[in-house]
Amino acid sequence: MRYLPNTAQNQRAMLDTIGVAGIEDLLVRIPAKARLGRPLALPPALAEADLVRHLRGLAARNADADGHVCFLGAGAYDHYVPSPINHLILRGEFFTAYTPYQPEASQGTLRTIYEYQTMIAELTGMDVANASIYDGASSLAEAALMAHSINGRAEIALAGALNPLYRRVVETYVDGPGLKLREVPSPEGVLDLDAARRVVGAKTAALVVQSPNFYGCLEDVAAAAELAHAAGALLVVVSDPVNLGVLEAPGRQGADIVVGEGQGLGVPLGFGGPYLGVFAAKTEFVRRMPGRLVGATVDLDAARGFALTLQTREQHIRRAKATSNICTNVALCALMATIYLATLGKQGLVRAGELSTAKAHYAAERLAAVPGVSLRFTQPFFKEFTLRLPKSPERVAAKLARQHILAGLPLKTLDRKLGDCLLVAVTERRTKDEIDAFADALAKAVA
Amino acid sequence: MANVPPELRYTREHEWARQEGGRVRVGITAFAQEQLGDVVFVELPKVGARVRAHQTFGVVESVKAVSDLFAPVSGEVVEVNADLTQKPETVNQDPYGHGWMLIVQPADAGEWDQLLTAAQYEQLIAEGGH
């Protein structure tokens, strides 16, 4: 798709057509005091070489995962991004500002989305996956709305160990329709099933459980499913698909809707986005599902082809009654995930998961052996865990950052009860040397 | 001109209603199914659900649109046409017969008289259906 500039001639032609002398005349109705009244104070334009130097200087002030050893996680992970991804996504057929969905012109794009949906459905153990949503948090918020639309109930029960930033996005989304959020405490790092039984009842549209949860602990998803279903509620599972080469698929543990952040599947950290909202569900709920959906079909000559399907759910047809306000997807990030999964293959994905969890457990052992440092929870974990530190986690993290180690996320601002804790993630990219160096630096920092 | 059986009553949203021994059978009109085109999915309430006159009770989906279904009368749903799940095209083929959707036990007998007669409904669709 081409970028079409708005030239001076274009502007003149448009102004002449509507009979206006200049662009200023279009703005006369804006009160003078609301206007700046002078040009923006921008520095003069730089030559390309100078501009690149300037931007590189600015970028060098960032602490990124290339120049640092990254143990930061909390929803975005430093997994390896195989080189074919960048090579392939930059092809002109894919690298467009707007995803072309017309089946007449876009069989390649539609096919990659179909493959993405198939892979996500297989990984999550669900029947159907959509073409993606913006990120993990918005996927979860859409799942809450979807549960409400399926069973008409007005409460959503959130496990206490859900990513607190996801909870905030859900709060925003459910404010309009007036759904009530109820939290199930997780004092030991995982869902308290007795407390959940008290919260989840006849008014509950869905119980939301994240596994591994925000603190890294693995939840008993099957028990949560049983509990939710006994109350006639749905179970929504927040899952990180890159872990599912090793961990059991939520769909085989009773999930009705599976959502999650797909960033780990070959999408670079990129300072927080764009990321990949994974969304999958059981077939019986497909008409309540938000987002785009690509289906396989046959054309007039009986050749296999792909087209958007079930579009009557969507906003451009159903207007205000659409299943969702989302009319698009993050096609380029979904393509990254598709190439990632195709590149690693079945064994590769299992291996990446095994390496992540093995290294995370080695790291947990080394770090918890530092005097004064301990694991905050005793629950099983996968690639992320919560450490309790004898000194301020903020100060420790700042100290280690100066040694080019991103130690993890101090939890104080997200959970005051865990003000002495640091959330540490370990992916397959970390080496034994890096983990040992981290343990040594931590020992000095807390000594 | 679409078929408008004289013994039925109608809504402005193109549902028909038939009295059956104190109960009311509900479907969509021949005009409605023609306008919708091929029906691919019908979503109906469960038996025991309560519907209200002029409020939505379900959804009919065709290849080109999704439309709400409106109840002609208030009451309790005592039967739904489960065959439409597997054969939604019945709505196109036989809208006043096998393509029926609900049977309602009416809560307010007075609502029946507020429905359009066949003559009134014919006039509505002659004016363009709105």
Asked whether the predicted pLDDT for residue A317 surpasses 80, the reply is no
Q: What is the mean pLDDT of residues A148-167?
A: 96
Helices (H), A134-259: 136-151, 164-175, 193-199, 221-230
Q: Are residues A298 and A369 in the same domain?
A: no
Average the pLDDT over each of A5-14, A212-221, A271-280, A423-432 and give the range with the smallest value. A5-14
Single residue among A338, A367, A390 that ends a domain in this structure: A338
Chain A residues within an 8 Å CB radius of B43:
287
Give the contacts of B36 (CB within 8 A, at least 6 positions apart).
B60, B62, B64, B65, B67
Residue A175: domain span: 83-338
**Is residue B61 within 8 angstroms of chain A, CB to CB?**
yes
Q: Which of A287, A317, A321 has the CB atom closest to B41's CB atom? A: A287
Q: Which of B41, B66, B68 has the CB atom closest to A317's CB atom? A: B66
Asked whether the predicted pLDDT for residue B118 surpasses 70, the reply is yes
Planar angle of CA A78, A79, A80, nearest 5 degrees: 120
Asked whether the predicted pLDDT for residue A360 surpasses 70, the reply is yes
Q: What is the mean pLDDT of residues A117-132?
A: 98
Q: Are residues A305 and A164 in the same domain?
A: yes
Q: Are residues A219 and A126 in the same domain?
A: yes
- Phi, psi (degrees; rounded to nearest 5) at A56: -65, -35
Q: Are residues A232 and A103 in the same domain?
A: yes
CA distance A118 to chain B (A): 24
For B85, the closest chain A residue by CA position comes to A284
- The CATH number of the domain where A137 resides is what? 3.40.640.10
- Are residues A438 and A422 in contact, defined by beta-carbon separation less than 8 angstroms? no
CA distance A310 to chain B (A): 9
Q: Tell me, rounded to whole angstroms, the distance of Cα A49 from its chain centroid.
A: 35
Task: Quote the pLDDT of residue A1.
Answer: 43
Query: What DSSP state is assigned to residue B117?
Result: P
Cβ separation of A312 and B66 shorter than 8 Å?
Answer: yes
Q: Are residues A300 and A390 in the same domain?
A: no
Q: Are residues A299 and A430 in the same domain?
A: no
Tell me whether residue A196 is in a domain: yes
Single residue among A286, A318, A338 that ends a domain in this structure: A338
Asked whether the predicted pLDDT for residue A48 surpasses 50, the reply is yes
Tell me whether residue A12 is in a domain: no
Tell me whether residue A22 is in a domain: no
Tell me whether residue A331 is in a domain: yes
Task: Quote the pLDDT of residue A327.
Answer: 72
Asked whether the predicted pLDDT for residue B12 surpasses 70, the reply is yes
- The CATH number of the domain where A356 resides is what? 3.90.1150.10
End-to-end CA distance of chain A: 58
Q: What is the mean pLDDT of residues A172-178?
A: 95
Of residues A161, A176, A135, A411, the one with CA closest to residue A275 = A135
Task: Quote the pLDDT of residue B129.
Answer: 62
Cβ separation of A312 and B61 shorter than 8 Å?
Answer: yes
Q: Are residues A318 and A253 in the same domain?
A: yes
Q: How far apart are CA A16 and CA A12, in angstroms?
A: 6
Chain A residues within an 8 Å CB radius of B41:
287
Q: What is the mean pLDDT of residues A27-47?
A: 91
Asked whether the predicted pLDDT for residue A247 surpasses 50, the reply is yes
What does A383-433 look like in DSSP terms, one character per residue? Answer: SEEEEE-SS-HHHHHHHHHHTTEE--EE-TTT-GGGTTEEEEE--TT--HH
Tell me whether residue A11 is in a domain: no
Q: Are residues A363 and A434 in the same domain?
A: yes
Percent share of chain A, pLDDT over 90: 86
- pLDDT per position as a tens digit, A3-32: 677 889 999 999 999 999 999 999 999 999
The architecture (CATH level 2) of B21-108 comes to Beta Barrel (2.40)
Chain A residues within an 8 Å CB radius of B62:
312
What is the residue-averaged pLDDT of chain B? 93
Task: Quote the pLDDT of residue A310.
Answer: 86
Task: Write down the domain spans for chain B.
Answer: 21-108
- pLDDT per position as a tens digit, A336-354: 999 999 999 999 999 999 9
Cβ separation of B61 and A317 shorter than 8 Å?
Answer: no
The alpha carbon dihedral of B103, B109, B110, B112 has a sign of positive
**Is residue B114 within 8 angstroms of chain A, CB to CB?**
no
**Is residue B62 within 8 angstroms of chain A, CB to CB?**
yes
- pLDDT per position as a tens digit, A396-442: 999 999 999 999 999 999 999 999 999 999 999 999 999 999 999 99
CA distance B20 to chain A (A): 31
What is the residue-averaged pLDDT of chain A? 95
Given pLDDT bands bounded at 50, 70 and 90, which one contains residue B109?
confident
Asked whether the predicted pLDDT for residue B65 surpasses 90, the reply is no
Number of domains, chain A = 2
pTM beyond 0.95? no
Q: What is the mean pLDDT of residues A186-205?
A: 96
Q: Are residues A301 and A399 in the same domain?
A: no
Q: How far apart are CA A197 and CA A230, in angstroms?
A: 10
Q: Are residues A233 and A167 in the same domain?
A: yes
Q: How far apart are CA B16 and CA B12, in angstroms?
A: 10
Asked whether the predicted pLDDT for residue A307 surpasses 90, the reply is yes
Q: What is the mean pLDDT of residues B47-74?
A: 92
Task: Quote the pLDDT of residue B127.
Answer: 87
Q: How far apart are CA B96 and CA B26, in angstroms?
A: 9
CA distance B21 to chain A (A): 32
Task: Quote the pLDDT of residue A389.
Answer: 98
- What DSSP element (H or E) covers B69? strand B66-70
Q: Tell me, rounded to whole angstroms, the distance of Cα A171 from its chain centroid.
A: 17
Given pLDDT bands bounded at 50, 70 and 90, which one contains residue A2?
low
Task: Quote the pLDDT of residue A117.
Answer: 98
Q: Are residues A166 and A179 in the same domain?
A: yes
Task: Quote the pLDDT of residue A39.
Answer: 87
**Is residue B68 within 8 angstroms of chain A, CB to CB?**
yes
